[in-house]
Structure 1
Amino acid sequence: MRDTQARRPSSLAFAASALGLTFGAPVWADDAAERLTERLDPLENYQAAFEQQILDSSGERLQSARGEMWLSRPGLLRWEVEAPYSQTVVSDGDDVYLYDPDLEQVTVQAMDERVTHTPALLLSGSVDELTDSYEVFYEQDGGEDVFTLVPISVDTLFEELSMVFDEDSLTELWMMDSTGQRTAITFSNITSNSNIDQSMFDFEIPEGTDVIREEM
C-alpha cells in the first residue's frame, strides 16, 4: 500500500512535481478513453478487500476504514465496511441500500445519474456512459497506468477521480471533491471475472429496522 499522506490527484493525474516522479507523455481525450475502455470492458465482475482513507486538503487523515467489496456489471455492487464500524451498501441495479446495523437504520435511494457517479458504482456501470460523462486523461507512473476522470457536468460528487491499474488489475481509486478533501481506496486480494453468487446483490431489510427512502 502506498503512502496516502504523500500522494494526491492533480488536474491531470497525481502531483508528480511534489513527489519527484517522472511520468510518461500524457495521452489525451479519445486515446485515453479508448485505453480505459479496453481495461474496463472485459471486467464482468470484481471482488477485493479494501482500505479506505479520507484526507483533508493538507493530507491529514480524517477517517479510515477497511472491508470487502463485490461488483458485477451492470449496476450490481456490495460494499461491506468491517472496521472501525459496520456498514453495508448494496445496489441491486434499481435501488441502493445503505444499512447501518448500529443505528438499526437503512436508507434506500433509487439508482439515478448522481448516485451512479459515486466511485464504486462507476465501475459497475456502462463503459460508454463513463467515457461520455467524463474527460479522460492517461499517464504512466512507475509501470502503473493512471486514468484521471474529470466530470463534464458540474452536478457530480467529485471534481476528479483517478483509477490506478497494475497490469490488468485495478489497485487504487482516488477521488477529490471541491473542498480539496480526498478519498483514497486501495484494493488487495483481487479476483476478477470469477463466479459471484448473485444473491450477494440482494438486500432484505432486517425486521425492526427503520427505513428512510430518499427522493432525488
Structure 2
Amino acid sequence: MKKYLVITIIIISLIITQVLATEHYDSFKKRLNKNDVFYAIFEQKILDIEDNIIQEAKGELWLKYPNLCHIHTINPESFFISDGKNLWNYYPILKQVMIFSLQKKELKNIVILTDFYFKPIYNKSYQMNKNDDIFIFIPKNKESHLKMISIHIDKSGIIQYFNLWEKNGTQSVYELKNQKFLKKEDSSIFKFKLPKDVTVENFSINI
C-alpha cells in the first residue's frame, strides 16, 4: 500500500515564523493562486540511492487553490480527490477507498502531490528556502521519512517539476507536461462518487 501512496504523492502548505521564510511562503502562495484550475500530465520516477529507476508512473492532475484536487494515476490505476472537506483515495484494482478529513491528524503522515494547494494545515512543519523559481522545503520533524522537497513554479503559476528526497536515499522525480489553466472546468471533477462493491476505510468525521 505504501507504493500506492507514493504514486499519489507530493508536497506542502506551510507557515514559517522567520521573516525571510514568511516572504518565501507569501511568494509561493501568490504563485499558486494565479488562476482557477491548473491542469497537467505528470510522469514520475522513483530512483534508488544509486539513481537506478525502481518504479515509474504517469497520469494527469487538476488543482484548484485552495483545497481542491483530482489526481488520476495510470498503471497501477488510482484516484486521489479532494472535494474541499475530505480526501478520497481510490484503488480500482483493490476495490478499496480510503477517506480522510482535511482537518484530521492522520493527514500529517500523508504526503500528497497537492499538499501545497491546500490551506496551511501543517503550520511550522517545514523550513523554507527559495532559489529563483525553486522553492525548497525541509521537514522540521526528525521522524519524517522525507529529507527535502523542491518545487519549481514560475511567476505565472506554472509548475515545471518537483522532487522528493527520502532519508533512506531514494528520490521521487515528477515532471509535468502540457500544463495549462482551465477557466471553465466543470467543478464535478473535484467530486467523488463512491463505486459499488468496494471496501471503505473511513478515517473522516466529515462524511
For the aligned pair, the TM-score class normalised by the smaller chain equals 0.7 to 0.9
Question: Quick one: which of 107, 121, 127 aligns to 2:98?
Answer: 107
Following superposition, the deviation at residue 94 of structure 1 comes to: 2.1
Show CA shifts across 1:108-128 (max 9, x none): 2222355276242323212x6
Give the aligned partner of residue 164 of structure 1.
152
Distance 1:44 1:155 in 2: 35
In structure 2, the residue corresponding to 1:39 is in which secondary structure?
helix
Indicate the structure (1 or 2) with the bigger Cα radius of gyration. Answer: 1
Q: How many residues align?
A: 183
Following superposition, the deviation at residue 149 of structure 1 comes to: 0.9
Alignment TM-score, normalising by the size of structure 2 = 0.76
Q: Which residue identity is paired with 2:172?
A: T
CA 1:130 to 1:194, structure 2 compared with 1: closer, same or farther past 3 Å? farther
Alignment TM-score, normalising by the size of structure 1 = 0.73
Matched, 1:211 2:204: no
Q: Report runs of 4+ in structure 1 exceeding 6 Å deviation.
A: none
Show CA shifts across 1:174-215 (max 9, x none): 112221222111111111252221111111111111212247
Is the Cα contact below 8 Å between 1:119 and 1:173 reproduced in 2?
Answer: no
Q: Could you tell me which runs of 5 or more consecutive residues in structure 1 were left unpaired when the two chains were aligned.
A: 1-27
Once the two structures are aligned, what percentage of the paired residues are identical? 23
Give the aligned partner of residue 201 of structure 1.
190
Q: Could you tell me which runs of 5 or more consecutive residues in structure 2 were left unpaired when the two chains were aligned.
A: 1-19
Distance 1:156 1:68 in 2: 27
What is the RMSD computed on CA atoms of the aligned residues?
2.6
Distance 2:122 2:27 in 1: 13
Q: Which residue identity is paired with 1:176?
A: W
Question: Quick one: which of 165, 169, 173 aligns to 1:184?
Answer: 173
Give the aligned partner of residue 76 of structure 2.
85
Following superposition, the deviation at residue 133 of structure 1 comes to: 3.7
CA 1:107 to 1:34, structure 2 compared with 1: closer, same or farther past 3 Å? closer
Matched, 1:151 2:147: no
In structure 2, the residue corresponding to 1:42 is in which secondary structure?
coil
Following superposition, the deviation at residue 105 of structure 1 comes to: 1.6
CA 1:95 to 1:176, structure 2 compared with 1: closer, same or farther past 3 Å? same
CA 1:167 to 1:157, structure 2 compared with 1: closer, same or farther past 3 Å? same
CA 1:154 to 1:113, structure 2 compared with 1: closer, same or farther past 3 Å? farther
